[in-house]
Amino acid sequence: MLENNKDQVIQQYQKLKAQNLSEEAIHKIIATKASGDRNHPLYNISPFTFKKMLGDPDGIAKNLVAYINSFSPKALEIFEKFDFEKEIEKLDSANRLFTIVKEFADIDLHPDRVSNLNMGYVFEELVRKFNEQANEEAGDHFTPREVIGLMANLLYTDEEEVYKPGIVRTIYDPTCGTGGMLSVSEEYIKEQNPQANLVLFGQEYNPESWAVCCSDLLIKDESVDNIVFGDTLGDGKTGDGHPQEKFHYMMSNPPFGVEWKPQQDFVVKEYNTSGFKGRFGPGLPRINDGALLFLLHMISKMHDAPEDGGDGSKIGIVFNGSPLFTGDAGSGESNIRRWIIENDWLDAVVALPDQLFYNTGIFTYIWIVSNKKQANRKGKVQLIDATKHFQKMRKSLGNKRNELSDAHIAEITRLYGEFKHDNTSKVLIDGESKEKICSKIFNNREFGYLKITVERPLRLNFTISDERIERLKDETAFAALTESKKKDKSEKEAEIKEGLALQESILEALSKFKTDKQYKDREKFLKVLDNALKNLKLAPALKNLKLAPALKKAILSALSERDAEAEICRDSKGNPEPDADLRDTELVPLPGKISLPLPLDYDAKADNKELLKLVKKHIDEYLKKEVLPHVPDAWVDYSKTKVGYEIPLNRHFYVYEPPRGLDEIESEIEKVEAEILEMLKDLKL
């Protein structure tokens, strides 16, 4: 690749060096002169070649380092991220460096025999093989090629614009790893539209993965300027590498099930200060899984929708199951789902088979997110169950035992493209080919629900007995009487002494009013209690003491027990007081004709009055039908009503299988018993 004009490059370098120009200026000039038929400069100013280095076996390590340091600036940056000098040192120490250099010298990779594009394919194949072998960590940055192929199929289905000759389109991967998704996307489109002008963008925080990605592009004579090194979410040192860019297509396999603590300060600050003007407006997921943060980041990169005068964008992203359902109503995860669905951006979710990835056997899911849905897909979400669309591998690679064939990819793409509810597909179930429902279509609102708080009244009985007086000693407010926060020793001792005296006085006063009578009306018992506490024997300094409300509440709590037969306890306005132990929540589907988005902010303390105007009647009907027949004294605390969203994909595709009949089971047992008896006959006991 470098041989054709290497001599001219060296001569040019020496000539410019003699003019005392800076290295930066020299490389700018050489980059222009040395380009040849390349669009992006790649050259080496060292007199060494691999064959020449073989002539000095003892100096091969030193000469190879010098050779690498003589590459053009961008290529040198790539080598630095590989930490290549350390690898050279290791190989040299193991007496293997000469052998490896000799092997490379013997390979004929001249551009006349291997084009830049084919050289890129060779490089990608090597990356794939090495990643498969390093399965224990490869999943962090390497997605199986057939999964990327499926994602590309789903992403570019119905995308007519991208197949117009000369069209300019941008493709972005915020967690690009070794660049597989970018490469496959480019190949997919170029196969059908060779005249498309595709501009690739990416970002990667792992130095070696970034270097591999850039190497692939550089070998294929494509720009690496848009592949940024750094943390996409932001870690204080690096951040979004393309802050002003919008992209037509985006693909990603972000780390899932991984803590985002390293990025927490940066992300939380952006969330608090920028809100919806930043990337994380609707909320933040829990700290142990930051996958949804990458989707929020990608959504912030979408072009305006076509109805708003933009090109629109389409996103494909791989998740584990957590983003589908983790998080209660009002949580960060639920609010993120709500924001995406209520804005009509969630297009489809595809459940993939398990054991597809190299370092995990879990089920994974492809989310398709778009702000330019086809007319028939607007207001709807498609769920596809592709968990049975796979074939077993002849040899497993780490956790990867299953793979998608071309036929499986085509079938899943068909299900997506046809967009039919209850669409079926032939799959293998228990070794038999069967028709199975694999596609379902839902209205956006069907994923939303109201979380209502159902209260029941507090009912207590009261009495003054030895057992209940003893319980008072464990009440926090009562025990706190013997504690002091005073710093002065004498003042502290005095306060503790007063507290002990008050405790003894309360216990003594209650003991004098012990009774076997049980009161089932709190108001009546309060009169008895007040009468008992009037007779407290207090020290002169405490004569005018009034019991603190918290202390009186503690006394009342100790002397009470829950009693379903007791009268309802009421507040000062006569309203029933709720019993926290009987408090329950119900998940109520959204009303069938409600419009989205709902009139409720994403703030945890958001006022829900406008929402209640739309749903209160619906909640009341649910309460009357589903709750009151079982607990007639229940009511709803409307102020606590929250909105939640989840995508219970597995539940929607669950098919009930009735247990086998007793006759069938009995017959099978008899058959097994007969076989055992027959085998025993052959034994001479």
For position 111, what pLDDT does the model report? 64
Share of the chain above pLDDT 70, in %: 93
**Which of 536, 562, 588 is the last residue before a domain boundary?**
562
> For residues 262 and 235, is the Cβ–Cβ distance under 8 A?
yes
**Which of 114, 133, 155 is the last residue before a domain boundary?**
114
Residue 350: alpha-carbon gap to chain centroid: 16
Shared-domain flag, residues 277 and 410: yes
Shared-domain flag, residues 443 and 500: no
Shared-domain flag, residues 104 and 146: no
Length of the chain measured in residues: 685
What pLDDT band is residue 139 in, cutting at 50, 70 and 90? very low
Inside any domain, residue 626: no
The DSSP element (H or E) to which 556 belongs, if any, is helix 549-558
Shared-domain flag, residues 79 and 135: no
For position 207, what pLDDT does the model report? 92
Report residue 200 as tokens.
């690739």
For position 34, what pLDDT does the model report? 67
Shared-domain flag, residues 239 and 156: yes
**CA 670/CA 296 separation, integer angstroms:** 60
What pLDDT band is residue 135 in, cutting at 50, 70 and 90? very low
What pLDDT band is residue 4 in, cutting at 50, 70 and 90? low
Inside any domain, residue 684: no
Give the mean pLDDT of 201-215.
Answer: 93
**CA 213/CA 178 separation, integer angstroms:** 4
Q: How many CB atoms lie within 10 A of CB 251?
A: 29
Shared-domain flag, residues 234 and 315: yes
Report residue 45 as tokens.
């100013």
> For residues 458 and 576, is the Cβ–Cβ distance under 8 A?
yes
Give the mean pLDDT of 243-259.
Answer: 94
- Residue 96's contacts (CB-CB under 8 Å, 6 or more residues apart) are none
Calculate ∠ Cα 157-162-165, nearest 5°: 135
Check pLDDT > 70 for residue 544.
no
Inside any domain, residue 299: yes
Report residue 684 as tokens.
């001479």
For position 488, what pLDDT does the model report? 92
**CA 119/CA 115 separation, integer angstroms:** 6
What pLDDT band is residue 143 in, cutting at 50, 70 and 90? confident
Number of domains in the chain: 3
Given the structure tokens 């789903």, which residue do they identify? 154
Inside any domain, residue 376: yes
- What DSSP state is assigned to residue 640? G
Which domain range does residue 436 map to?
121-450
Give the mean pLDDT of 144-149.
Answer: 92
Check pLDDT > 90 for residue 156.
yes
User: 71 or 203: whose pLDDT is higher?
Assistant: 203
Shared-domain flag, residues 71 and 169: no
Give the mean pLDDT of 228-247.
Answer: 95
Report residue 242 as tokens.
């393309």
Check pLDDT > 90 for residue 112.
no
Shared-domain flag, residues 366 and 505: no
**CA 638/CA 642 separation, integer angstroms:** 9
In tens, the pLDDT along 330-383 reads 999 999 999 999 999 999 999 999 999 888 889 999 999 999 999 999 999 999
Check pLDDT > 80 for residue 1.
no
Q: Report helix, strand or coil for 443.
A: strand
Give the mean pLDDT of 437-463.
Answer: 98
**CA 408/CA 506 separation, integer angstroms:** 78
Inside any domain, residue 595: no
In tens, the pLDDT along 497-508 reads 988 988 998 999
Q: Report helix, strand or coil for 664.
A: helix
In tens, the pLDDT along 33-48 reads 666 677 888 888 888 8
Give the mean pLDDT of 281-295.
Answer: 96
Highest mean pLDDT among 121-125, 203-207, 340-344, 483-487: 340-344
> For residues 643 and 600, is the Cβ–Cβ distance under 8 A?
yes
Phi, psi of 345 (to 5 degrees): -100, -25
Q: Give the chain's mean pLDDT.
A: 90
Residue 315: alpha-carbon gap to chain centroid: 15
Check pLDDT > 80 for residue 140.
no
Shared-domain flag, residues 146 and 86: no
**Which of 95, 114, 133 is the last residue before a domain boundary?**
114
Inside any domain, residue 574: no
**CA 547/CA 88 separation, integer angstroms:** 81
> Which stretch of 25-34, 204-213, 230-239 has the lowest confidence by average pLDDT?
25-34
Report residue 91 as tokens.
């190989």
Give the mean pLDDT of 486-496.
Answer: 91
Distances from the Cα of 560 to the Cα of 459, 529, 641, angstroms: 10, 12, 31
In tens, the pLDDT along 391-424 reads 999 988 888 899 999 999 999 999 999 999 999 9
Give the mean pLDDT of 524-550.
Answer: 75
> Which stretch of 161-175, 322-336, 534-548 has the lowest confidence by average pLDDT?
534-548
- In terms of phi and psi (left: phi > 0; alpha: psi -120 to 50; beta: otherwise), the region of 166 is left
Give the mean pLDDT of 257-282.
Answer: 95
- What DSSP state is assigned to residue 550? H
Inside any domain, residue 633: no
Report residue 421 as tokens.
């509810």
Give the mean pLDDT of 50-76.
Answer: 92
User: 568 or 681: whose pLDDT is higher?
Assistant: 568
Sign of CA dihedral 524, 526, 530, 533: positive
Shared-domain flag, residues 150 and 281: yes
**CA 264/CA 287 separation, integer angstroms:** 8
Inside any domain, residue 398: yes
**CA 636/CA 583 separation, integer angstroms:** 10
For position 242, what pLDDT does the model report? 97
Q: Which residues of 202-226 are buried (b: 16+ CB within 10 A; e: fewer)?
A: bbbbbeebbbbbbbbbbbbbbebeb
Shared-domain flag, residues 478 and 429: no
List the CATH number of the domain containing 231. Answer: 3.40.50.150
For position 678, what pLDDT does the model report? 81
Shared-domain flag, residues 424 and 501: no
Give the mean pLDDT of 219-240.
Answer: 93
**CA 409/CA 361 separation, integer angstroms:** 20
For position 119, what pLDDT does the model report? 67
